[in-house]
């Protein structure tokens, strides 16, 4: 199957106020196929989020380029939906208005806006909360809103930067199952950054493991568990085998980072 997202020799170096150079990413070559679910796993500060921001068009590579369906990414666009760890909702808009925001900006008619927002409100389990404001909702519900907003715009690819990192463990597990269920039915291409090993395995068809900074993709591991997936798979011998391998890889990279 042809790649939908192509990351070609992408590197990133930041230059400080006094001209000091910090290399965040070594040259990266990576391909993501249509409808694939790829998690990017690595130690803190390794450049995972920098790569995701480059794909989103929120940052630019120092060298290399990123192609989506053969077109070079030069900036943000509606073809990419981004969900951050922080709850990036407009506090003055209701849940329904937040979800419709991008649709309204594109000039979509009111009836179609309502139809699409109602569909995704139901999909993420927020029916009955359409008229609430973000501050009236829990963190998990706010993040459901952010995911619904991203999906309502029908992007080609969904980009998630540790979206469940600030949630308590039980809510996090529920959100993992929710997002995976949506992916299984909608078949969106997903690139998902996390530092949680269980999450990386449970969600993905493929795990890309980042090295310590300067980041590079040091290995890829296929996750062939069937769909739909149930949380009990996390206690299976096959899951534990992959977890042991990834734990060792991440531990080695974390130790390398600590030595710098």
Instruction: Give the residue among 186, 172, 244 at the shortest CA–CA distance from 34.
Output: 186
Q: How many CB atoms lie within 10 A of CB 113?
A: 20
Q: Are strands 71-72 and 63-68 parallel, antiparallel or unpaired?
A: antiparallel
Tracing tokens 């179609």 back to the chain, one arrives at: 112
Superfamily of domain 3-79+157-259: P-loop containing nucleotide triphosphate hydrolases (3.40.50.300)
Q: Are strands 37-41 and 189-194 parallel, antiparallel or unpaired?
A: parallel
pTM of the model: 0.92
Instruction: Give the residue among 179, 227, 228 at the shortest CA–CA distance from 199.
Output: 179
pLDDT tens digits for the chain (260 residues)?
A: 568 999 999 999 999 888 889 899 999 999 999 999 999 998 888 889 999 999 999 999 999 999 999 999 999 998 999 998 876 899 999 999 999 998 988 888 999 999 999 999 998 889 999 999 999 999 889 999 999 999 899 899 999 999 988 888 888 888 899 899 889 888 889 999 998 999 999 999 999 999 988 899 999 999 999 999 988 999 999 999 999 999 999 888 877 766 66
Asked if 175 and 141 count as a contact pair (C-beta separation under 8 A), the reply is no
Q: Write the Ramachandran bin of 212: left for phi over 0, alpha for psi from -120 to 50, otherwise beta.
A: beta
**DSSP string over 225-257:** --SS--GGGGGSHHHHHHHHHHHHHHHHHHHHH
Q: Write the Ramachandran bin of 9: left for phi over 0, alpha for psi from -120 to 50, otherwise beta.
A: left
User: What is the pLDDT at residue 99?
Assistant: 94
Q: Which residues contact 248 (CB under 8 A, 6 or more apart)?
A: none
Residue range(s) occupied by CATH 3.40.50.300 in the chain = 3-79+157-259
Query: From the centroid of its chain, how far is CA 37?
Result: 9
């Amino acid at each position: 199957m042809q790649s939908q997202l192509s990351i070609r020799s992408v590197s990133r170096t930041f230059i400080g106020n006094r001209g000091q150079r910090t290399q965040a990413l070594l040259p990266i070559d990576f391909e993501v196929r249509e409808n694939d679910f790829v998690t990017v796993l690595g130690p803190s500060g390794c450049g995972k989020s920098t790569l995701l921001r480059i794909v989103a068009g929120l940052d630019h590579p120092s060298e290399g380029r990123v192609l989506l369906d053969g077109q070079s990414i030069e900036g943000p666009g509606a073809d990419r939906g981004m969900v951050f760890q922080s709850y990036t909702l407009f506090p003055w808009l209701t849940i329904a208005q937040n979800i419709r925001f991008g649709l309204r900006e594109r000039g979509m008619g009111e009836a179609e806006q309502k139809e699409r927002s109602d569909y995704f409100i139901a999909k993420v389990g927020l029916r009955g909360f359409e008229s609430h404001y973000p501050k009236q909702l829990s963190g998990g519900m706010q993040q459901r809103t952010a995911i619904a907003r991203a999906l309502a715009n029908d992007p080609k690819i969904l980009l998630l930067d540790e979206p469940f990192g600030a949630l308590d463990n039980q809510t996090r597990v529920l959100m993992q199952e929710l997002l995976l269920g949506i992916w299984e039915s909608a078949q969106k291409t997903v690139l998902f950054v996390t530092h949680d090993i269980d999450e990386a395995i449970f969600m993905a068809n493929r795990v890309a493991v980042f090295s310590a900074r300067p980041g590079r993709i040091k290995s890829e591991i296929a996750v062939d568990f069937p769909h739909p997936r149930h949380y009990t798979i996390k206690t299976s011998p096959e899951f534990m085998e992959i977890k042991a391998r990834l734990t060792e890889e991440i531990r080695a990279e974390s130790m390398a980072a600590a030595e710098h």
